[in-house]
Amino acid sequence: MQQKEKVAIIGLGYVGLSLALAFAKKRAVIGFDINADKIQLLQNKIDPNQEFDADAFNDIDIQFTDQLKDIAGADYYIVAVPTPVNGERIPNLTALLNACKSVGTVITPGNIVIFESTVYPGCTEEDCIPLIEQVSGLKAGTDFFYGYSPERINPGDAQHTLEQVIKVVAGCNEYATSKVAALYGEVVQAGIHIAPNIQTAEAAKIIENTQRDLNIGLMNELSMIFDKMQLDTKAVLAAAATKWNFMPFSPGLVGGHCIGVDPYYLTYKAARLGYNSQIITAARMINDGMGKYVADKIIQHLIVAVDVVKSAKVLVMGATFKENVSDIRNAKIADVVFALQQLNIQVHVTDPRASHNALMQEYGFGLTTSVEKDYDVVIVAVPHKEYLLLTDDYFSSITQPHALIVDIKGIYSNKIYSRKYWSL
């Protein structure tokens, strides 16, 4: 039998590792990442993101490496590196452009490059491909080909996996499109959707998360309004959800590397074309401001409940960007911690999944070694499964009688009665 073409995956985060393990069941794969520590863990069948157990690394054809020379000779190069924003909310393409340079040094005629990283429409063909051409000396569409297939990985979700979600693909021409569609068709059981061109596929990815951002922004604004009316937002939403076409969104802290980032790529591109987004920007402002809003509610409680605010003690439960993951990137609870620390309030942070060292490096605070018994406020920021069965007795055992339990996602609604309770 003819040997199948080899696939190189560049970037082994949530997206890249999922792709690498899936394709390695079907053909030879080289998984490349510049993080040597991550590569060492993967070589020992340890997923740093805790999404896959050791069994997922068995009976597959894969080589993990941090050496660029090792990916030479592949037939497909799939780029799945992070595309964050900088402090001014402007797209940071550093990792993506560096990956393009790397591909340019190893690509050979006939190869196909596929991008999965989230970008603004036009980025693949305006920024990435010219750089590969410059470094390689090859001509796109003639010497090598390219495509785009936006990632749809949802960390912590065991149901909507790579295999079970329809894959959008597009290529630079008919040949590339057919090759890209066939490649992903080997591992994606849910089916392939072929977009008419690469910019359409790029735009589709952007609006998937922008739509969620807008809806959550609406829920957050409603939560602030209902709080002033002394209405239970969760109860209001439950009543509204009895109508068949009501969309089930809820308020919360919008962080992470998708919903809290992707809309900025769209507004950035729109501004370059002379259009200043209104609705998208408004939702971003609301969602980015929720950390301060939560902190202000806590400070209002402390002013009334304790003699000296700066002597208060607060426990934060959950420091990752969402439940049941270890990823702390753009975790919006950090905004709450910073706001409280500015008033010299003592803040302890606990999380069963986050890394102390990663938190220290990213935010300057780490995990507490033990939970104490005299907190003035407890913030349940992330509904990890480890927290779901905690009871009113537990919270009363770690807090002062005047304490406030801040339940960001409302997982203890109507379950806390011995302490003051507040939720978005």
Specify the pTM. 0.91
Dist. CA 306–CA 375, nearest whole Å: 11
What is the spatial distance between Cα 81 and Cα 179, in angstroms, rounded to a whole number?
Answer: 22
Residue in 27, 96, 91, 35 with CA at minimum distance from that of residue 66: 35
Identify the CA nearest to 53 among candidates 21, 23, 27.
Answer: 21
Whether 138 contacts 284, CB under 8 Å:
no
**Phi, psi (deg, nearest 5) at residue 408:** -55, -45
Same fold, 7-195 and 198-288: no
| Domain layout of the chain by residue ranges | 7-195, 198-288, 290-424
Q: Are 410 and 422 in contact (CB under 8 A)?
A: no
pLDDT per residue of the chain (424 residues) written in tens, 0 to 9:
346 899 999 999 999 999 999 999 999 999 999 999 999 999 999 999 888 999 999 999 999 999 999 999 999 999 999 999 998 899 999 999 999 999 999 999 999 999 999 999 999 999 999 999 999 999 999 999 999 999 998 888 788 889 999 999 999 999 999 999 999 999 999 999 999 999 999 999 999 999 999 999 999 999 999 999 999 999 999 999 999 999 999 999 998 888 889 999 999 999 999 999 999 999 999 999 999 999 999 999 999 999 999 899 999 999 999 999 999 999 999 999 999 999 999 999 999 999 999 999 999 999 998 999 999 999 999 999 999 999 999 999 999 999 999 999 999 999 999 999 999 9
Classify domain 7-195 by CATH number. 3.40.50.720
The length of the chain is 424
Q: What is the largest CA-CA distance in the chain?
A: 79
45: left (phi over 0), alpha (psi -120 to 50) or beta: left
Q: Three-state SS for 140?
A: strand
The Cα 92–Cα 310 span in angstroms is: 37
Query: Among 253, 254, 249, 150, which residue's Cα sits nearest to residue 198?
Result: 150
* Domain 290-424 belongs in CATH node 3.30.70.660: no
For the domain covering 198-288, report its CATH number: 1.10.1040.10
| Residue 5 neighbours by CB distance under 10 Å | 15
Contacts 24+ apart (CB under 8 A), 138-145: 138/107, 138/108, 138/109, 140/172, 141/172, 141/173, 143/109, 143/110, 144/107, 144/108, 144/109, 144/110, 144/111, 144/112, 144/113, 145/111, 145/112, 145/113, 145/171, 145/172, 145/173, 145/175, 145/176, 145/179
Give catalytic residue positions: 258
Is 21 in contact with 187 (CB distance < 8 Å)?
no
